[in-house]
Structure 1
Amino acid sequence: MGSIRRRLLLSSLLVLAVFLGGTAVALDRAYRDSAEGALRARMRGEVFALLAAAELRAGKLDVPRGLHESRFEVPGSGRYAEISGDEGEVLWRSPSMVGLNLPFVRGLTPGRASWSRVRADGETLLVYSFGVGWEVQGSAARQFTFSVAARLDELGAEIGQFETTLLLWLGGAAGLLLLTQMLILHWGLRPLAQVAVDIKAIESGARDDLAGRYPAELTPLTHGLNALLRHERAQLLRQRNALADLAHSIKTPLAVLRNAAGAQSIEQAALINDAVARIDESVAYQVRRAAASGRATLTAAVPVAKVARRVMRGLDKVYADKRVAAELDDPAGGQFAGDEGDLYELLGCLLDNAYKWSERRVLLSLTSQADDGTAALELTVEDDGPGVPAPLRQAVLERGTRVDRRVAGEGIGLAVVRDIATAYGGRLAVDDSPQLGGTRFIVHLPAG
């Protein structure tokens, strides 16, 4: 599912983009409407100023020079004005219209107004026309249409400047809000990061439980993890104590049976000894199998080489007469994510089997590799012994199976290795050793 921090940041980015984008569109629309409304208000004012300046003398309309809007006096200034009569005849044009012929609205009735957009000489203009009725004492009323046009590129430039400023401010606000959100997320998720640090401390063996101060939302989680850790440790301890008690309680009855066999006939003694051997073998197998704790929760990784050297030193003494040359190949410093006792049992059984069947050489190789994209540990034990025939390779992994009964043993060691590997989600395989020529056992364990 990815990082919580990343998901929250992406969510914040999406919310900011939608909110600030909507805000930018709303403000831009409002400013456009406001700017155009202000332009329309100025144009109405210019019409009224033009109306106030005009005078009707002897039936002729006179507009003096030096109008309030100075741009009417400058050719091509972008501000134009016209006055037309009731028949549509042009009575006056502003000096700024020199060389231009704008399609003004003419012949409006008094009090009527008209807004329009026109194109002239490649420019877009907003045109406002207003009908006026002029009463003259002693004569019929006259009708005039006062028109004003304004070039819209000025309005567009004003709006463009506003949009640039708006984007700069909103971009700065977005950056500031995002930075603030990142700081809030860092502060808010700090307890989760602390839990992760404490869990790593438990895995490394530096502490036994989660004993820090956590927010109320995390308290059920930390209490649950602590309870799980205590329960697992207590259960493992009870299991091992019970097995030890069982093994101790069976020793005495088995010894009595062996002594009683000496007083029986040879045939009866053989039967009793065979039954005792089977009981002893079964008990040993079940004790060793159950003692394998399997994958434990939040356990520190165990260096395999350290345990392997201890096991090899012990087997060197046991098989001193064979003078076995045992080698350890561990280029990557393999780590076992599990119980140290399980690792001792696993390596002890594998190496004891290799020492037992080898002629002179045993090789233990450790490899950290990827298994379907997941890191894994692979333990390989090889010897230069006679090897295991292909038809018997699966059988030697079963409890009580012995390929050669001339060699002492109970036939349960490899079964225990298989069960430990299975308990950790791994597997055990057997084939020929390409290096030493004997048997090769491969234990593949997934990452913890």
Structure 2
Amino acid sequence: LNSDARPASYSLRRRMLLTLLPVLAIALLLLGLSLANSYRTAAEASLFERLQLQQRLMLADVEISATGVRFPELASEPALNQPESGRFALVFDSRSQILWQSLSARASGVSWPQRLAPVLLRLNRIPQGELLTDSAAGFYLAAMRVAFALDAIETDAINPASSDALSTEVLQAGLLSDTYTLMILDDGALLAAQQKSYASSLWRWLGLTLALLATVQVLLMFWSFRPLAQLVDELRRVEQGSQQKFAASYPTEIAPLTENLNRFVEGERRQRERYKNSLADLAHSLKTPLAAMQAAIESKAGDAAMLEPVERMDAIIRYQLQRAQPLASHRMGVQRSDLALVAEPLLRTLQKVYHSKPVALDCQIPPALNVAMAEEELLELLGNVLDNAFKYCRGKVSLSASGQGAFCVVSIQDDGPGIPASRIPKVLARGGRLDQQQPGQGIGLAVAVAIVDARGGSLDIKPVLEGGARVLLRLPLATA
């Protein structure tokens, strides 16, 4: 039987992996971005502190006298005296003109007044003595506007003759010196290299952490799903009959399920036992009257045609009694039945049953076409399907069979009203009927489906364009 299409199967493990791994990856990505940002913030803060420290050292290097302020030729910070060090020192006067610059600034070739014009404008708007730290004009900088008190310096210690040799610019004595802008800058190249090295190391370790966490997650997942795998294994053994119930100890989350399954299995076992007993009782109660009928017909030398259906009924009852036996005593061995030898007597019987309806019968079954089924089983299967064909046909029934590979395909077609495709599943279900006017219980096709399923075959119902229905039985061929 071709059942309805099932939804695509999925794996809980795969689902959890597809859910958890992106979550882990996103969490580690956010952690990495946060750590990288924190490192950059801390590194910039540390750089600004170093710039401020160098600015203080620069202020300490300034020589103040009553006659003016002198800035040293060489700064005390070695980086300021090295070209291409990336660290620069500048002093601007109140007119934003360069008054003094370090050797590194002179060697850089940068037009500092133009490059730092926006910064100088900002400094002019803040109070004198307030420190400005910022990253502007492509540099990290620490800047401050200062003025020096000249009248507090003892003039006797000043040597004017040596003043020109020790300073680049000298202010005349007065109460306060001119306002100076002291600026220490860094191009950030070393900071960028440090950040790149840190980021590379950070992402490498985070990648290894993700791989480790994914591996641990997979191992934990397999460990967590072991009870489910054990449950599936026990369910298979219960289904095969090698185990009566679920006996293993399961976690508290699964234990209620196994308890309910045990109750369900026990209920199904009792129900099957009642069905078997009822079937055995029915078959046994019919067996004696049929035996008496058979003896009476034989003793009176009655019509052989009447004896044949009685013998068929007796065979069916014996078959049903055999099916009602416990599974342990009912071993289905290698069986074979000639399709033609079973179908032809059945067709003759059905023609007599439906003698009031003239049925044109077309039977095309090749000889010696053997199927791997018991004769009684094949008789019940064909009887249920052919009985429906005779019952609902208008006047024509055809039966044909052919071997196709390892299977025998049997086609039973009638010219009746047919079955809508949407109603086929209902017809194949136990108790399902479309025509309530005809006598019957609606279990014939369901029994036929159960028989072909048990043998690994299939039953399909196809509509016929000219009217009617075609039932296709796919039955395993008997091996030689």
Partner of 2:40: 32
Alignment of 1:351-390 (within 5 A): 380-381=409-410
| Structure 1 position 102 matched with structure 2 position 144 | no
Please say which of residues 55-64 and 88-97 is displaced more in the overlay.
Answer: 55-64
**Displacement of 1:443 after TM fit?**
1.9
**Displacement of 1:158 after TM fit?**
1.5
Equivalent of residue 459 in structure 2, options 427, 431, 444: 427
CA shift in 2, pair 1:325/1:351, >3 Å:
farther
| Cα distance in 2 between the residues matched to 1:174 and 1:280 | 76
Question: Normalising by structure 1, what TM-score?
Answer: 0.64
CA shift in 2, pair 1:51/1:381, >3 Å:
same
Partner of 1:134: 148
Give the secondary structure class of the aligned counterpart of 1:68.
Answer: coil
2:249 aligned partner, one-letter code:
R
Deviations 1:18-56 (A, max 9, x none): 211111121111111111111111111111110011112
| Cα distance in 2 between the residues matched to 1:199 and 1:54 | 91
CA shift in 2, pair 1:246/1:430, >3 Å:
same
User: How many residues are matched?
Assistant: 354
Equivalent of residue 152 in structure 1, options 188, 194, 202: 188
Task: Please tell me whether the aligned partners of residues 292 and 420 of structure 1 are also in contact (alpha carbons under 8 angstroms).
Answer: no
Partner of 1:8: 16
Question: Normalising by structure 2, what TM-score?
Answer: 0.60
Deviations 1:139-184 (A, max 9, x none): 3112322111110222222111111111011111111111111111
**Displacement of 1:226 after TM fit?**
2.6
Alignment of 1:217-296 (within 5 A): 217-251=253-287
**Displacement of 1:85 after TM fit?**
2.7
CA shift in 2, pair 1:250/1:76, >3 Å:
closer
Partner of 2:63: 55
**Displacement of 1:229 after TM fit?**
2.4
Deviations 1:243-282 (A, max 9, x none): 2223333455677899999xxxxxxx99xxx9xx999999
Give the secondary structure class of the aligned counterpart of 1:100.
Answer: coil
CA shift in 2, pair 1:145/1:416, >3 Å:
closer
1:127 aligned partner, one-letter code:
L
Equivalent of residue 368 in structure 2, options 318, 322, 326: 326
| Structure 1 position 64 matched with structure 2 position 91 | no
Deviations 1:415-446 (A, max 9, x none): 98734234578636699xxxxxxxx973259x
2:378 aligned partner, one-letter code:
L
Structure 2 unaligned residues grouped into runs of 5+ = 1-8, 153-173, 346-365, 385-399, 419-441, 464-469, 476-480
CA shift in 2, pair 1:208/1:171, >3 Å:
same
Equivalent of residue 230 in structure 2, options 169, 190, 194: 194
Higher relative contact order, structure no. (Cα contacts within 8 Å, ≥ 6 residues apart): 2
CA shift in 2, pair 1:281/1:380, >3 Å:
same
Partner of 2:132: 114
| Structure 1 position 21 matched with structure 2 position 29 | yes
**Displacement of 1:117 after TM fit?**
4.0
Give the secondary structure class of the aligned counterpart of 1:326.
Answer: coil
Residue identity over aligned pairs, in percent, reads 28
Task: Please tell me whether the aligned partners of residues 79 and 149 of structure 1 are also in contact (alpha carbons under 8 angstroms).
Answer: yes
Partner of 1:436: none
Please say which of residues 243-252 and 74-83 is displaced more in the overlay.
Answer: 243-252
Equivalent of residue 181 in structure 1, options 210, 217, 220: 217
Task: Please tell me whether the aligned partners of residues 198 and 210 of structure 1 are also in contact (alpha carbons under 8 angstroms).
Answer: yes
Partner of 1:405: none
Structure showing the higher strand proportion among its residues: 1
Equivalent of residue 96 in structure 2, options 88, 92, 100: 88
2:84 aligned partner, one-letter code:
G
| Cα distance in 2 between the residues matched to 1:129 and 1:42 | 13
